[in-house]
Amino acid sequence: MGENAARPKSDNTIPIVEHYVRDYMVKRWGLELLADEIRPLAVQQWLLSLRNERALAWTTISEIRQTLQRARQLSKESRP
């Protein structure tokens, strides 16, 4: 994300992605966020809880899921 991204994000997108990371992903997963220990079923259950407990729209949940996938992929690529 940011100026080093392969495709720079718009000025409107950056605060939205930061919100997803800070207020949803880090709040739920903390330091585990980029670890390999998070199981797909746990992620699916969490995403469903965002719909059922927080009444987030499916489009928002999809954006959060994509952001989580990108963050984890970048973490794997940056490891030695």
- Comparing C-alpha atoms, which of 20, 33, 14, 29 is closest to residue 75? 33
Determine the pLDDT at residue 33. 74
Determine the pLDDT at residue 5. 65
Determine the pLDDT at residue 78. 78
Q: Is 30 exposed, middle or buried (0-12, 13-18, 19+ CB in 10 A)?
A: exposed
Note the pLDDT tens digit of each residue in 4-49.
Answer: 667 777 888 899 999 999 999 999 988 777 777 788 899 999 999 9
Distance CA 46, CA 40 (A): 10
- Comparing C-alpha atoms, which of 49, 50, 26 is closest to residue 38? 26
